[in-house]
Structure 1
Amino acid sequence: MLSITESTSTPTETETQAAAESAFGVDLQAALAERPRSMSPKYFYDDQGSRLFDAICELPEYYPTRTELSILAACAGEVAARIGPRPEIVEFGAGSLRKVRLLLDAMQAPARYLPIDISGDYLQHSVQALRAAYPALEVQPVVADYTQHVRLPAPLAGSGRRLGFFPGSTIGNFSPAEALHFLQSAAGLLRGGALLLGADLIKQPDRLHAAYNDAQGVTAAFNLNLLVRANRELGCDFDLDAFAHSAFYNAPLRRIEMHLVSLCRQAVRLAGQSYEFEEGETLHTENSYKFSIAGLRELAQRAGFRPGPVWTDPERLFSVHWLEAPAAGDNEQKEQP
């Protein structure tokens, strides 16, 4: 299993208190206080977590990244023709900025690229590399949680339509209600433009199990890094050897679930409070829903998009969807439960 190195520095009492009042601290306290315990996967992505996820994407068992890259390489020309000249590209959860290069290379004089990511340090590092590769492109990073309300800068003078880009099947990390809410928000941000959305498809459970339980233990390290981050930033005392990675396919709910399983009865401290874990009790850290093409198109339509072409690989492992956003004059979509 891939080793995880914890920071040797210990936060001061003042730093710990401030961190406990951060969004991460507040959400972790709420997660530890409830039953069953569940934490948002967005907190995986500190700098180390982002790097571990990049390593996951290179694993032989992890098919989504290479499959989506092959689909994007094949459809990039058609995407460029559909969005038109001088587009502005808005990428939600930008990460390493690898996939967007396929779109940039195909597009006619893209006006600006707006990558949104919650991990500011990692985003800045990725942006530097992209600027070096595309010196004529205006790149304006937005450090934000795209699951919350995001304010984008006004369109550049003379720019074309906005293309939202949401690859990696990150849409599957949301609950069905959260996915609908995100798509409704994206439809508002992209009015008159479109969204290019990657979505993982339903498939044989053994293929899914292998993808989230790799032989090198990188996914396990990624999962456990959440506890490393809590220890470093929040002054927690999680014992990494007392928790184990667990990932499995929940077929009735059509989702992979990732958990951190307590291997013994133990107590963990956060912000002066003690939280008991029974042996076998878990902290649920991520869901990854799998979609049918028809189901994803129906969800997008409910959010206000007009579904267009869908591109897949020969094995139909993964899908990339073109979704037209409503025009600026259209009526706002009402929130749906």
Structure 2
Amino acid sequence: MRLDTRTPDTLTLGTGVPLERLSSEYGTEGRVRFIDLQPRPDDLRAEVLQGLGQSPKRLAPKWFYDQTGSRLFDAITQLPEYYPTRTEIGILRRDGEAIAEHLGRGKVLIELGSGSSLKIQILLAALRPRLYVPIDISRDHLIASAQALARRFPGLEIQAVCADYSKPLALPLETDWGERAAFFPGSSIGNFDPPEVRAFLQRVARLLGPGGALLIGVDLIKDRTILEPAYDDAQGVTAAFNLNLLARLNRELGADFDLERFRHHALFNAEASRIEMHLVSTCTQQVQVTGEVFDFTEGEGIHTESSYKYSIQGFQRLARSAGFVCERVWTDEQGWFSVHCLRVEEA
């Protein structure tokens, strides 16, 4: 390992946070710089206690992604019922050159929610960025993905940032890297409630600066017979993914959830236009989390994820309200999924 002595510039996503855990770690090729802004255990504890104290009880989906959760989600993307990943990949393959023309080549490319998946490989090959900045909350998954991409793209500079991108944060990047573009794949924007979408997009717009481009995947409204199996597959992988959240709380917070007393439940809420995932108590019980006791009645759920589905026009209205110009949209032939190129409005 060699130390990086260059001076970082700070690009801010929101109001910024102290950069107390900046480190430089290099893989075997010496091209991956790792910046550790991983949420502290106290952050997890505070958010979990607050969420379980609400009515109805809630846990944020960002906490799914420990090492096991990241592995299970990778398995979900391969399931026959889970259409978003393969559909988005199809769009990127078919329209990669047009997408590259709109985003612009040779820029800084920031990926919100990193991965070594085929999606980012397609985009990196088309865009040939001067710097790739993956941001992810799962530290081990992020490091492994960044190192895999460094091997796949030998000339690529990578600065991997372990952070919670759903909150304001600052990105310490090298100076003079030039124009920026961002990639937010997989319809992860659907995990935010609509008012949160606007605030999040405003932060991304400030990060990119006037004229900066955002490529974002957005899942579209469709029949519940397609939507619900995508979040409740026949093999039970999504159920294991959801229940692993409780296993994480047991391990990291000393909670005493009995996973046998909760079941996975997914449904499409047509009125809200969203898939909802819940962990439902199968009996009346009490659960202890870091010394605090929470009562559950039989049938009571913990809301663990929302995944909003949009019309193209509905999402574009949200994007415009956050300061973006809707430049281009690509969809698959069935109209199940959309990929939008948004541009930050010039001052």
What TM-score do the two structures reach when normalised by structure 2? 0.86
The sequence identity of aligned pairs, in percent, is 52
1:108-136 CA deviation, whole Å, 9 max, x = no partner?
Answer: x4201000001111100111100001110
Deviates most, 61-70 or 25-34: 25-34
Match of 2:64 among 29, 36, 44: 44
Partner of 2:233, secondary structure, is coil
- 2-structure distance, mates of 1:216, 1:54: 14
CA contact (8 A) 1:311 1:320 kept: yes
Distance 1:84 1:35, change over 3 A: closer
Shift of 1:305: 0.4
Q: What is the alpha-carbon distance in structure 2 between the residues aligned to residue 23 and residue 96 of structure 1?
A: 27
Rounded to whole Å, the distance in 2 between the matches of 1:156 and 1:307 is 29
- Normalized per residue, which structure has more strand? 2
- Deviation, structure 1 residue 160: 4.6
The whole-number CA distance in structure 2 between the counterparts of 1:20 and 1:57 is 28
CA distance in 1, matches of 2:289, 2:217: 37
Q: Say whether the 8 Å CA contact 2:198–2:318 is kept in structure 1.
A: yes
Does structure 1 residue 114 correspond to structure 2 residue 133? yes
Is the CA contact (8 Å cut-off) linking 1:307 and 1:323 kept in structure 2? Answer: yes
1:155 to partner: Cα distance = 5.8
The unaligned stretches of length 5 or more in structure 1 are 1-18, 331-337
Query: Per the alignment, in what secondary structure is the counterpart of residue 86 of structure 1?
Result: coil
Matches within 5 A, 1:202-241: 202-241=221-260
Tell me whether 95-104 or 213-222 shows the greater mean CA deviation.
95-104
Q: Distance in 2 between matches of 1:51 and 1:143?
A: 17
Change beyond 3 A, Cα 1:155–1:316: farther
Assess, with a 3 A threshold, how the Cα gap between structure 1 residues 97 and 272 changes in structure 2: closer, same or farther: same
3-state DSSP of counterpart to 1:151: strand
Which of 113, 133, 136 aligns to 2:155? It is 136
Write the letter of the residue equivalent to 1:270: V
* Residue of structure 2 aligned with 1:150, choices 159, 166, 169: 169
Q: Deviations over 1:29-73 (max 9, x none)?
A: 112222110111110011111111110000000000000000011
Q: Residue 150 and residue 326 in structure 1: after superposition, are their counterparts in 2 closer, same or farther (change >3 A)?
A: farther
For the residue of structure 2 that corresponds to 1:146, the secondary structure is coil
Structure 1 counterpart SS, 2:118: coil
Counterpart selection for 1:26 from 39, 46, 52 = 46
Q: Contact conserved, 1:304 with 1:326, CA < 8 A, in 2? A: yes
Number of aligned residue pairs: 308
Name which of 299, 308, 314 aligns with 1:280. Answer: 299
TM-score, normalisation: structure 1: 0.89
Distance 1:21 1:125 in 2: 22
Preserved contact between residue 103 and residue 214 of structure 2 (Cα < 8 Å): no
Report SS of the residue matched to 2:171: coil
Corresponding residue number in structure 1 for 2:146: 127
- Range moving further from structure 2, 143-152 or 250-259: 143-152
Q: Tell me how far apart the structure 1 counterparts of residues 245 and 45 of structure 2 sit (CA, whole Å).
A: 12
2:186 corresponds in structure 1 to 168
CA distance in 2, matches of 1:102, 1:20: 33
Residue number among 175, 178, 195 corresponding to 1:177 in the alignment: 195
CA distance in 2, matches of 1:299, 1:47: 33
Offset, 1:150: 2.2
Tell me, yes or no, if structure 1 residue 79 matches structure 2 residue 99: yes
Q: Matched residue of 1:236: which SS?
A: coil
Q: Counterparts of 2:74 and 2:175 in 1: how far apart (Å)?
A: 32
Q: Which moved more, 1:278-287 or 1:143-152?
A: 143-152
Which shows bigger deviation, 266-275 or 286-295? 266-275
1:324 aligns with 2:324: no
Query: Is 1:256 equivalent to 2:275 in the alignment?
Result: yes
CA distance in 2, matches of 1:82, 1:278: 52
In structure 2, the partner of 1:11 is none
Q: Deviations over 1:296-331 (max 9, x none)?
A: 11100000000011000000000000000134xx2x
Higher mean alpha-carbon deviation, 26-35 vs 233-242, is at 26-35
Paired AA for residue 283 in structure 2: C
Give SS of 1:110's match.
coil
